[in-house]
Structure 1
Amino acid sequence: EKSDFLEVAYLLIYGELPSSEQYNNFTKQVAHHSLVNERLHYLFQTFCSSSHPMAIMLAAVGFLSAFYPDLLNCKEADYKLTAIRMIAKIPTIAAMSYKYSIGQPFIYPDNSLDFTENFLHMMFATPCTKYKVNPIIKNALNKIFILHADHEQNASTSTVRIAGSSGANPFACISTG
């Protein structure tokens, strides 16, 4: 009840709740990796405006594998940093997919905001209007993120696990589910 999504993400990656210092370092790492390569903008332009945001998002997550070719032969040591990159970049891509679907310009991440505030900012701000985060919506979305963090064993999770067991690039594996 008193945890946030990044605390739960840390727990799932490292197997224990973070200390205050570990949490601060983890949130800084996630913020650092939230920006996506500018070339990703060109990928979005290849989709027609009526494309479903989820289809665009899946393509964009798979596209990230092109920026991390060293992960084609992913080793266990790479998994934690890759998980952090995914936690950081997937909300950015989701917001970009949404913005593209409604014909609005992409909004860059704002590292002065916490994880959930930043996602809401990227989804609902415009270049000329700053988004004021409603604390009730922020709290509800944070709980939704926590609920989705442990995704159990549904069909998409099984698909990702099967793809991942082949040693393929983790971004490509995530895009299968």
Structure 2
Amino acid sequence: AIDDLAGKCGFLEICYLLLKGELPNAKQKEEFNSTVMNHTMVHEQMQFFLRGFRRDAHPMAVLTGLVGAMSAFYPDAANINDPREREISQIRLIAKLPTLVAMAYKYNIGQPLIYPQNNLSYTGNFMRMMFATPCEDYKVNPVLERALDRIFILHADHEQNASTSTVRLAGSSGTNPIAAIAAGIACLWGPAHGGANEAALNMLEEIGSVDKIDEFIKQVKDKNSGVRLMGFGHRVYKNYDPRAKLMRETCHEVLQELGLENDRLFKLAMALEKIALEDE
């Protein structure tokens, strides 16, 4: 069950499960983790490509471009009938995507790029690349590290969704796995898919405060208003998304650790959820 996997496993164990069809034993786990963490660096020339983007470019546009460009550095990835080449492409994608995401983020906010540190965990290394700066020490908060790892697990696989379908469609043409994943990321950007997360946050900002929820719900019910309730409902889960309970618990843990239990957007989201679920 998803509760067991999210509660007892790390993200790389779930990657192994999805690739191999079973969870790794202790030896397999150590070998797989080591292999992934030894492939975290990207070619230095990727930085020149990165600098071609505007500073205010959307991070998903940058990430789509970076992943697509990465395929140019690994021409052997085109040998899709070679099991070894397929396997190394899998490892490279798992290992290097956090580095590319951090590059896109750092570029957007104007901070120096932080290189991977392979003695950290997969998620801890990602957090350091995202939030460390050269001018001060950065220590990974274990509560936040575990929370982010759990979020990775909850998003690792979700049947035949839009981005998965896109990757499979691209792959069916015989393109290399890295290019296929770039296509999937472009699909994930869409507001009806991964972009819904961003849309939900924007919606909360637009509502502004708890006392404006009732008026917002009225607008949602008015079919002529064009206002949509984002973050509620799912094409697969008609009643309740089983991942939501774990995400809620994780959110509480993070906000408590950061002393943000009374965060404005969090309280607004909780109040909106309560009203939306009670309202028919």
Q: Aligning the two structures, in what range does the TM-score lie when normalised by the shorter sequence?
A: over 0.9
Query: Is 1:55 the counterpart of 2:58 in the alignment?
Result: no
Q: Which residue of 2 aligns with 1:81?
A: 88
Deviation at 1:76, TM superposition (A): 4.9
Deviation at 1:151, TM superposition (A): 3.1
Unpaired stretches in structure 2, ≥5 consecutive residues: 1-6, 185-280
Bigger RCO (CA 8 Å, 6+ sep): 1
TM-score of the two chains, using structure 1 as the length reference: 0.96
Which structure has the larger Rg? 2
- Equivalent residue pairs, number: 177
Deviates more, 1:147-156 or 1:167-176: 147-156
Letter of the 1:26 counterpart: F
Query: Is 1:114 the counterpart of 2:102 in the alignment?
Result: no
Deviation at 1:152, TM superposition (A): 2.1
Q: Which one of the candidate residues 98, 108, 114 is aligned to 1:91?
A: 98
Q: Which one of the candidate residues 63, 68, 71 is aligned to 2:77?
A: 71
Q: Which one of the candidate residues 32, 35, 46 is aligned to 1:29?
A: 35
Q: Which residue of 2 aligns with 1:9?
A: 15
SS at match of 2:137: coil
Q: Which residue of 2 aligns with 1:43?
A: 49
SS at match of 1:144: helix
| CA offsets 1:59-111 (integer angstroms, 9 cap, x no match) | 00000110111122312502222111100000100011000000011100001
Query: Is 1:149 the counterpart of 2:149 in the alignment?
Result: no
Given that 1:13 and 1:80 are in contact with CA atoms closer than 8 Å, whether structure 2 keeps it comes out as no
Counterpart CA distance in 2 for 1:62 and 1:162 is 16
Unpaired stretches in structure 1, ≥5 consecutive residues: none
Counterpart CA distance in 2 for 1:158 and 1:9 is 19
Query: Is 1:169 the counterpart of 2:164 in the alignment?
Result: no
Given that 2:77 and 2:86 are in contact with CA atoms closer than 8 Å, whether structure 1 keeps it comes out as no
Counterpart CA distance in 2 for 1:80 and 1:89 is 14
